Amino acid sequence: MKKLLIILALGFVAAGAFAQQRPAIQFPDYQFTTVKANPITSIKNQYRSGTCWAFSGIGFIESEAIRINNITDSLKYPDFSEFFVVSNSYYERAIKYVRLDGKLNYAIGSEGDDVLDVIRDHGIVPNDAMPGLNYGTELPVTGEMDTVLKSMVDAIVKNPNRTLSTAWKRAIQAVLDEYLGEKPETFMADGKEYTPASYRNALKIKPEDYVSITSFTHHPFYTKFAVEVEDNWRWDQAWNLPIDEFMAVIDNAINNGYTLSWGADVSHPGFTRNGLAILVDVAATNSAGSDQERWVGKADGAPAPAIKIVEAVPTQESRQVDFDNKTMTDDHGMQIFGIARDQDGKKYYMVKNSWGETGKYKGIWYATEAYVKGQSLDVIVHKDALPKDIKAKLGIK
């Protein structure tokens, strides 16, 4: 056994050394021209927290508030609290976790629908009424809170008494209050006093007007189902469309002034940390051109040509295989808000991320059609953004 481990270790070292010698994929210097961009609020930074779902969902609702209320002055764009949503979500998840005897994911991750559920049940507040940073850092760092809460709910589930105490729910809320701040019952905004519910209503945000859309073959098309990922702890349901109609929803929404909350896989090697999301076919890209040219340049001494980026062609079938094999999961939540083209005329979707103003495009990512088609788990959009024929197929009024 020891000898086998040594052999394996040496193999891994050799493989690692070989991988380091191989040339990395070099992306061209893309130049993007905006075709259509709908209003978004400033780029936020979720930092060291798994709250992308809250940041992308809140960013989406901020854009909806801008659209619905026809806010044209960017200085008056809303800034809603992500951690008001997180606090409510974590508390309600604790209750469900205990009810299910711990047979539920209890972690910081969630889905975009969770944001709408909280807004529906509790309302919404401005960020300055609950910034959620009650623990000594300037940016979100939730690891300690996550661990404390998970330990608490696990202890409650394992309680040897047949009857739980009357204190445990208050204890969960107390921890949330200490880390994120207490949820305000009233607050001032634009010179008026609101409750979270009255503020939601004043902004004309109606959570029931939003729909989730997905695209998989293990459920019938034009029906709803709860997408089977652990972050979907509420078991919210999404409408299931063929992938071409899924993409038609995105285009119709953007072209008619709407944005979308986007759940996607970002572990693919084509999702760079510098603002690109390209469904790179790694094998085809690495094999483009002769081996000599890629390693030492052309025979006449000219520089080696740039490696051609070859994209995979996603299909309905490939999406299902990737989902079933766990090579396409719900890694990250973002917001799709526009369409752009590169210097060759190729189409990209403009995406607002929540990693701060990082990368070449200061927090904006450009995702190819192939990437969105192949790596999307779901989108959330206003029901009026659906194409009329698709809306009719789903029976949505």
Q: What is the mean pLDDT of residues 117-129?
A: 98
pLDDT band, very low/low/confident/very high, at 24 (cuts 50, 70, 90): low
Q: What is the mean pLDDT of residues 274-293?
A: 75
pLDDT for position 300: 56
**Mean model confidence pLDDT for the chain:** 91
Within 10 angstroms of residue 171's Cβ, the number of other Cβ atoms is 14
Please report, for the domain that includes residue 253, its CATH number. 3.90.70.10
Q: What is the bridge-based pairing of β-strands 237-240 and 260-264?
A: unpaired
Q: How far is CA 217 from CA 123, 161, 220, 243, 337, in A?
A: 35, 45, 7, 10, 27
pLDDT for position 298: 52
Closest alpha carbon to 145 in 94, 78, 196: 94
The token duo for 264 is 């996607």
Position 12 in a domain: no
Position 309 in a domain: no
Residue 173: is it exposed, middle or buried by C-beta count within 10 angstroms (0-12/13-18/19+)?
Answer: middle
SS3 for 63? helix
Domain extent, residue 60, equals 25-279+314-388
Position 69 in a domain: yes
Q: Is 289 left (phi over 0), alpha (psi -120 to 50) or beta?
A: left
Closest alpha carbon to 385 in 261, 264, 220, 224: 261
User: What 8-state DSSP symbol labels residue 141?
Assistant: B
Tell whether the model's pLDDT for residue 6 goes beyond 50.
no
More confident residue, 295 or 388: 388
| Percent of the chain clearing pLDDT 70 (strictly above) | 88
Q: CA dihedral defined by 46, 51, 54, 58, rounded to 10 degrees?
A: 0
- Residue range 152-161, pLDDT digits in tens: 999 999 998 8
Q: What is the bridge-based pairing of β-strands 332-341 and 347-352?
A: antiparallel
Position 350 in a domain: yes
Question: Taking a C-beta distance cutoff of 8 angstroms, is the pair 75, 105 a contact?
Answer: no
**Alpha-carbon radius of gyration of the chain:** 23
How many domains is the chain built from?
1
**Which residues have a Cβ under 8 Å from the Cβ of 346 and sit 6 or more positions away?**
368
Amino acid at 22: R
pLDDT for position 264: 98
Position 163 in a domain: yes
Position 153 in a domain: yes
Position 112 in a domain: yes
SS3 for 379? strand
In this predicted structure, which of 9-13, 329-333, 368-372 has the lowest mean pLDDT?
9-13
pLDDT band, very low/low/confident/very high, at 282 (cuts 50, 70, 90): confident
SS3 for 175? helix
Position 30 in a domain: yes
Most distant CA atoms of the chain, gap in Å: 82
